[in-house]
Amino acid sequence: MQRVGLIGYPVAHSLSPAFQQAAFDALRLPVRYELWPTPPEALAARIAALRHPTFLGANITVPHKVAALSYVDVASARAQRAGAVNTIVRQEDGRLFGENTDVPGFLASLYEVGIEPADVRVAVLGAGGAARGVLVALAEAGCRSVVVANRTLARAQALTSELGGQAVPLDERLADVLMSTDLLVNATSVGWDGASAPLDLALLAALPTHATVYDLTYRDTPLLQAARSRGLRAIDGLGMLVHQGAASFRLWTGQEPPLAVMWAAAKAARDARGQQ
C-alpha cells in the first residue's frame, strides 16, 4: 500500500481525501490518501520523508505552498512563475518534483463551464498567492485583459508589474472597471466564513448582465448569493479543487483520473458538511 497525503495546517476541513480516495479505489490502485497536519516548524521534515518509496507524493495547502517550493529538488516552470507548489511527486530516484496544479485546475474549471479565458475581460480581487496563481493561469491561456483590485494598491501593482495586467484600488472606483468585466474572480479568502464579502456588494450592479462571478472558495458565499440575486452566473471553487486534484492524480499515477467519480465524491463530501 502506497501513501499520499495533504500537507497543511490545518487540514481537517479538506475535501481532498474524499475525492482522491474515491479515484484511487475506482481504478483499484493500492494507495491511501491521508491528512498530514503540519505546523511550519515540521514542514521540512515532513517533505523530506516523502523520499521514502512508500510515498507517491503529496498535496500542499495553506500555509505551506510558497515554502514548499524551496524543499523540492526541482520545480516546474509553472510552479516557479506561480511562486508556489501544491503538488509534490516522488520520482523513481527519490528526488522530489514540485508542480502547481492550481493553475491548470483553475483553467479547466473555466473551460468546463464554457468560458474561454482568451476571450474575456477579467477582474481579480486580491493580490496574494491565490491571485498570483490566477494571473499565471490567465497568462498561460492568452487572456489579454486583466485587472487586479486590492485594498493595498501597492501589492496589486507589484503583482501586475511582474505578471501583467492593470492594478486598481479595491473601493468604489472599481465600478468603472466592472462595467466592462466579463469574469470577476474573488481570489481572497473573504467569504469563507459565510458572512463577509470581499467588496461592497452594491458594486455588482456595475457588471454586465452576461458576466460570471467566480469565488475560489468552495462554498456558497455572500458574493455568489448576491451575484445570483442579480441574475449573474455564479461559480464556486469546487471545480477548481476537483480539477487541480485530478491533475495531481495524473502526476502521481500516470493514469487518467476518473473525473466523474471525483466530482461525485467531492459534492457528496461537501453536502455532508453543509458547505453548500
Separation of CA 207 from chain center: 24
131 plus 206 within the same structural domain: yes
Three-state DSSP class for residue 235: strand
160 plus 146 within the same structural domain: yes
260 plus 209 within the same structural domain: no
The per-residue pLDDT for 274 is: 74
Domains of the chain: total: 2
The per-residue pLDDT for 191 is: 79
DSSP assigned state of 198: S
The per-residue pLDDT for 225 is: 97
117 plus 163 within the same structural domain: yes
Could you read off the pLDDT of 253-263 as tens digits, one per residue?
999 999 999 99
Measured on CA atoms in the order 78, 80, 86, 88, is the torsion positive or negative?
A: positive
153 plus 202 within the same structural domain: yes
Helix (H) or strand (E) holding 222, with range, is helix 222-229
Distance CA 55, CA 65 (A): 19
Q: Do 155 and 127 meet the contact criterion of CB atoms below 8 Å apart?
A: yes
The per-residue pLDDT for 193 is: 82
147: left (phi over 0), alpha (psi -120 to 50) or beta: beta
Distance CA 268, CA 15 (A): 10
Q: Which residues of the chain are under the pLDDT cut of 70?
A: 275-276
174 plus 72 within the same structural domain: no
Distance CA 175, CA 179 (A): 6
Residue 54, Cβ neighbours under 10 Å: how many?
12
- CATH code, domain with 226: 3.40.50.720
Cell numbers linked to 128: 496574494
Three-state DSSP class for residue 269: helix
The per-residue pLDDT for 224 is: 97
Is 267 marked active-site?
A: no
Distance CA 188, CA 127 (A): 8
Q: Do 75 and 87 meet the contact criterion of CB atoms below 8 Å apart?
A: no
Q: Do 242 and 218 meet the contact criterion of CB atoms below 8 Å apart?
A: no
Domain limits at 123? Answer: 104-236
Could you read off the pLDDT of 117-133 as tens digits, one per residue?
999 999 999 999 899 99
The per-residue pLDDT for 275 is: 55
79 plus 112 within the same structural domain: no
186 plus 249 within the same structural domain: no
Identified catalytic residue from 65, 78, 90, 270: 65
13 plus 63 within the same structural domain: yes
Distance CA 96, CA 4 (A): 13
